[in-house]
């Protein structure tokens, strides 16, 4: 269950004042400064916990959070593991799908694949999608509360979203999901092709659309700008210590706390560690004897100047698995899915394929000939598409596995993770951990 966001002004009498004196040992190290790590540091600092934010890159959000699709997709949290995907498996296995590729090359990935298949039943899909929806709604509340206190500038907008469908069957399936989500208070309308065109000029010249789901409350924002802005707030208003260029290699846990060592020999000590390493979490955690069902799913994005019929709202093309996000002066397009591919380099052929798919989908939306900033990122996928927020050891917590929706889910899982950590600190102050506790 999510913890209530506490007002910092009230403070958390249980935990003392926030902020970390230079050189002082923080209560918590948050490892990884993608959107998930930065949001977690904030949720902890709000609870009066002293925090250090640690990242191997020189800045926050240079990993998967850098140039994703930009959609804050609170109403569209549909799990990847779905009955409809099962029917496509033979084509996927043979590499015949232009968008989706499978590369489950080692035993851990095959085990993941088996768990994923187990999640493809109608009941699992429904459960995962609804649990994602709850998390999405928690995230939206937490983001709006943050922005009331700290008006960070990250091209945040509430333009709504149009989810395009190209077959009657797919539109009918979408209609069933809309009805399911209505029960959770989500506002969505199924519209036919002409209504969709009236709502969104970017559909000019687009062919094959049979209808769409319109979600008027959906939001967009640039995750990189958000992480940069929030990190500044953390430093200056919450006294959070930041350690960039700290490439964590190992962790030792003792009765006194955790000690995190970087490849260059530097050490940081804290009472607790929150691992928010995205797709790099499994490798890091393996060294601690912790195994997690997270594998990478590579995707691409590019930006292009706005075209003659630029999108007003954010658009998902369900059949091409593409998202179009309107940013000032630009359209960001993201897509492609290579499950099991952990190589983050940009393959020019795949990037070209993404640009071609976008042009086929919405020909007038962007000036595709001027596409730039080709980028690839690794979505940290779990078999259920739900993130893992848990206490893995007495002093080690995980906030990982955000998959296709980490930007959307970051604020909600941050609240959940911070709640677990804060509760454990309170517990320790009233009932000290066993002196024999270890990693
Ligand atoms: C093409 C594409 C489009 C997407 N579109 C959307 C979208 O529209 N909406 C949405 O909600 N989500 C989207 N996502 C998903 C979203 O981007 C991810 O789920 C999210 O960014 C994951 O965030 P994270 O903080 O967990 O991981 P990351 O951003 O990868 O952060 C992990 C951090 O850990 C650091 N790190 C790793 N190892 C170490 C170490 N040993 N020591 C120190 N630091 C380390 C990394 O440098 C990195 O900064 C998309 C993803 C892709 C690839």
86 pLDDT band, cuts 50/70/90, is confident
Strands of the sheet containing 248-253, edge to edge, are: 248-253, 258-262, 267-270
Q: Which of 19-23, 97-101, 211-215 has the lowest mean pLDDT?
A: 19-23
pLDDT in tens, 377-408: 999 999 999 999 999 999 999 999 999 999 99
Q: For residue 321, what are the contacts with CB-CB under 8 A and spacing of at least 6?
A: 99, 100, 335, 336, 337
- CA dist., res. 204 & res. 193, Å (int): 11
Identify the band that residue 269 occupies on the pLDDT scale cut at 50, 70 and 90.
very high
Residues 8 and 73 in one domain: yes
Q: Is 278 in the pocket of ligand 1 (CB under 6 A)?
A: yes
Q: Does ligand 1 have an atom closer than 6 angstroms to the CB of 135?
A: no
132 and 237 housed in the same domain:
yes
Nearest-angstrom CA–CA distance, 386 and 377: 18
pLDDT of residue 432: 63
Q: Is residue 110 part of a domain?
A: no
Within a domain: 39 = yes
**Confidence class for position 243, pLDDT limits 50, 70, 90:** very high
Ligand 1 pocket check for 323: Cβ under 6 Å: yes
Give the pLDDT confidence score for residue 106 in this predicted structure.
87
Question: Where residue 434 falls among pLDDT bands split at 50, 70, 90?
Answer: low
Q: Which residues contact 76 (CB under 8 A, 6 or more apart)?
A: 161, 163, 213, 215, 218, 316
The predicted structure's pLDDT at residue 103:
85
Query: What is the pTM for the complete model shown?
Result: 0.94
> pLDDT confidence of 98, banded at 50, 70, 90?
confident
pLDDT at position 315 over 50: yes
What backbone torsions phi and psi does residue 165 show, to the nearest 5 degrees?
-120, 145
In a domain, 66, yes or no: yes
Q: 205 with 96, same domain?
A: yes
Question: Is there a single domain that holds both residue 327 and residue 371?
Answer: yes
**6-27 mean pLDDT:** 52
Radius of gyration of the chain (CA): 22
Is 123 a domain residue?
yes
**Is the Cβ atom of 280 under 6 angstroms away from ligand 1?**
yes
Based on the fold, state whether residues 300 and 191 are members of the same structural domain: yes
Identify which of 152, 73, 68, 61 has the alpha carbon closest to the alpha carbon of residue 332.
Answer: 68
| Residue 72 falls in which region: left (phi positive, over 0), alpha (psi -120 to 50) or beta | beta
Q: Is the CB of 389 under 6 A from ligand 1?
A: no
**b/e sequence 45-82, b meaning 16+ C-beta within 10 Å:** bbbbbbbbbbbbbeebbbbbbbbbbbbbbbbbbbbbbb
Residue-level pLDDT at 16:
45
pLDDT score of 13: 38
Same domain, yes or no: 205 and 263 = no
Q: Ligand 1 pocket test: pick from 407, 409, 410 the residue with the most ligand atoms within 8 Å of its Cβ.
A: 407
Give distance in angstroms: CA of 157 to centre of ligand 1: 21
71 and 129 together in one domain: yes
State whether 6 and 93 are in the same domain: no
- Contact 315 CB / ligand 1 (< 6 Å): no
Ligand 1 atom at minimum distance from 249 CA: 41
Cα dihedral: 143, 148, 154, 157 (round 10): 80
> Of 38, 52, 60, 64, which is best to mutate to test ligand 1, by the most ligand atoms within 8 angstroms of its C-beta?
64
| Calpha distance 271→85 (Å, rounded) | 43
Within 10 angstroms of residue 390's Cβ, the number of other Cβ atoms is 14
> Is 39 close to ligand 1, i.e. is its CB under 6 Å away?
no
Q: Render pLDDT for 120-169 as a digit per residue (tens, 0 to 9).
A: 999 999 999 999 999 999 999 999 999 999 999 999 999 999 999 999 99
For residue 293, how far is its CA from the centre of ligand 1 (angstroms)?
16
Domain shared by 269 and 243, yes or no: yes
Indicate the DSSP class of residue 301.
E
Counting atoms of ligand 1 from 1, which one is nearest the CA of 404? Answer: 15
- What secondary structure does DSSP assign to 369-401, as a single string? GG-EEEEEEEEEE-TTS--EEEE-SSSEEEEE-
226 alpha carbon – ligand 1 mean position (Å): 13
Pair 311, 200: CB distance under 8 Å: yes
3-state DSSP assignment of residue 143: helix
What is the structure's pLDDT at 437? 45
**Mean of the per-residue pLDDT values for the chain?**
92
Other beta carbons less than 10 A from residue 427's beta carbon: 12
In a domain, 113, yes or no: no
Indicate the pLDDT class of residue 433, thresholds 50, 70 and 90.
low
Mutate to test the pocket of ligand 1, among 60, 276, 350, 379 (most ligand atoms within 8 A of CB): 379
pLDDT tens-digit series, residues 220-239: 999 999 999 999 999 999 99
359 to 199, 312, 342, 372: CA distances (angstroms): 20, 17, 27, 14
Q: Is residue 112 part of a domain?
A: no
187 alpha carbon to ligand 1 midpoint, in Å? 28
Q: Find the Cα–Cα–Cα–Cα dihedral 29, 34, 35, 41, rounded to 10°.
A: 10
| Structural domain count, the chain | 2
Model confidence at 431, pLDDT cuts 50, 70, 90, reads confident
Atom of ligand 1 nearest to the CA of 325: 8
Same domain, 347 and 227: no
Which CATH number fits the domain that encloses residue 388?
A: 3.50.50.60
95 pLDDT higher than 80? yes
CA 401 / ligand 1 centre spacing (Å):
9
Residue 402 alpha carbon to ligand 1 centre in Å: 8
In this predicted structure, the answer to whether residue 270 has a pLDDT above a threshold of 90 is yes
Residues 266 and 309 in one domain: no
Mean pLDDT over residues 407-421, rounded?
98
Confidence of residue 102 (pLDDT cuts 50, 70, 90): confident
Using the atom order of ligand 1, give the atom closest to the CA of residue 37: 25
Backbone angles phi, psi at 37, to 5 degrees: -65, -45
Asked whether residue 114 is assigned to any structural domain, the reply reads no
Helix, strand or coil, per DSSP, at residue 163: strand
Q: Which of 74, 133, 258, 277 to mutate to test the pocket of ligand 1 (most atoms within 8 A of CB)?
A: 277
Kindly state whether residues 128 and 185 are assigned to the same domain.
no
pLDDT at 14: 43
Q: pLDDT: is 255 or 415 the higher one? A: 415
pLDDT for 91: 85
Asked whether the CA dihedral 254, 255, 258, 259 is positive or negative, the reply is negative
Q: What is the pLDDT of residues 324-341, one digit of tens each?
A: 999 999 999 999 999 999
Per the structure, the complete domain to which residue 49 belongs is given by 1-81+119-156+217-292+384-439
């Amino acid at each position: 269950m999510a913890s209530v966001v506490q007002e910092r002004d009230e403070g958390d009498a249980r935990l003392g004042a926030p902020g970390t004196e230079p050189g002082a040992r923080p209560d918590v190290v948050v490892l990884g400064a993608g959107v998930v790590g930065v949001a977690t540091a904030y949720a902890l600092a709000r609870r009066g916990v002293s925090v250090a934010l640690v990242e191997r890159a020189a800045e926050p959000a240079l990993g998967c959070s850098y140039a994703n699709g930009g959609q804050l997709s609170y109403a569209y949290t549909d799990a990847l593991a779905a009955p409809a995907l099962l029917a496509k498996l033979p084509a996927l296995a043979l590499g015949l799908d232009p968008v989706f590729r499978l590369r489950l090359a080692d035993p851990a990935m095959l085990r993941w694949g088996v768990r994923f298949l187990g999640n493809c039943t109608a009941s699992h899909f429904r459960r995962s999608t609804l649990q994602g929806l709850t998390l999405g709604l928690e995230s939206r509340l937490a983001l709006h509360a943050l922005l009331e206190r700290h008006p960070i500038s990250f091209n945040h907008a509430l333009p709504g979203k149009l989810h395009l469908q190209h077959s009657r069957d797919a539109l009918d399936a979408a209609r069933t999901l809309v009805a399911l989500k209505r029960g959770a208070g989500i506002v969505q309308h199924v519209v036919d092709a002409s209504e969709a065109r009236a709502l969104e000029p970017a559909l000019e010249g687009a062919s094959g659309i049979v209808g769409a789901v319109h979600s008027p409350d959906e939001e967009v924002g640039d995750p990189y700008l958000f992480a940069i802005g929030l990190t500044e707030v953390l430093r200056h208003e919450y006294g959070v210590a930041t350690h960039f260029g700290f490439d964590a290699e190992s962790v030792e846990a003792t009765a006194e706390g955790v000690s995190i060592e970087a490849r260059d020999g530097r050490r940081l000590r804290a009472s607790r560690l929150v691992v928010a390493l995205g797709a790099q979490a499994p490798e890091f955690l393996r060294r601690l004897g912790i195994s997690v069902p997270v594998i990478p799913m590579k995707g691409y994005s590019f930006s292009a100047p706005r075209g003659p019929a630029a999108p007003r709202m954010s658009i998902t093309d369900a059949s091409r698995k593409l998202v179009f996000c309107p940013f000032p002066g630009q359209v960001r397009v993201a897509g492609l899915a290579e499950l099991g591919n952990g190589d983050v380099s940009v393959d020019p052929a795949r990037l070209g394929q993404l640009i071609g798919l976008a042009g086929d989908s919405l020909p007038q939306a962007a000036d595709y000939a001027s596409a730039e900033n080709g980028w690839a990122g690794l979505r940290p996928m779990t078999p259920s598409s739900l993130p893992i927020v848990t206490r893995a050891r007495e002093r080690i917590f995980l906030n990982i596995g955000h998959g296709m929706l980490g930007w959307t889910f970051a604020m909600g899982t941050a609240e959940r993770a911070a709640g677990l950590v804060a509760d454990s600190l309170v517990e320790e102050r009233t009932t000290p951990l066993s002196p024999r506790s270890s990693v």
